[in-house]
Amino acid sequence: MSIDDVTQLLVTTLTEVLTGAGITDPTVTAPGDVKAIRKWDYFPHFNTFLLANGAYSQYNALQGNQHTYYSSGLNGFETVEFAIRAGKDLVNSFF
């Protein structure tokens, strides 16, 4: 799906939602109302080169720096289950 397709889908969907909510003049336009749309990889992952060069070790070494801890589904597909597992692992490892 192209950026133009996504923009049009957003415009159409928001117009329908606002119409259903009884909003006066519910027409959404692009680029007027759509300020920005950006494309990125949905499932970022570490490739073989990054894994061989210690990607997880570098990530884990950040834990606790400046009293900041990171928890996410980075180690697997970004799902609620993996985010919860990562949070539990973080607490068990550092607290």
**Is 58 found in the same domain as 85?**
yes
**pTM of the entire predicted model:** 0.43
**Contact partners, residue 43, CB within 8 Å, separation at least 6:** 77, 78
**Is 65 found in the same domain as 32?**
no
**Is 75 found in the same domain as 53?**
yes
**Is 87 found in the same domain as 58?**
yes
Domain residues for 9? Answer: 1-39
pLDDT of the chain, 95 residues: tens digit per residue: 788 999 999 999 988 998 888 888 888 888 888 888 888 766 667 778 888 898 888 888 998 999 898 877 666 656 677 778 878 888 888 88
**Is 55 found in the same domain as 35?**
no
Best CA proximity match to 94, nearest among 46, 86, 58: 86
**Is 53 found in the same domain as 89?**
yes
With beta carbons less than 8 A apart as the criterion, state whether 46 and 34 touch.
Answer: no
pLDDT of 22 reads 83
Domain total in the chain: 2
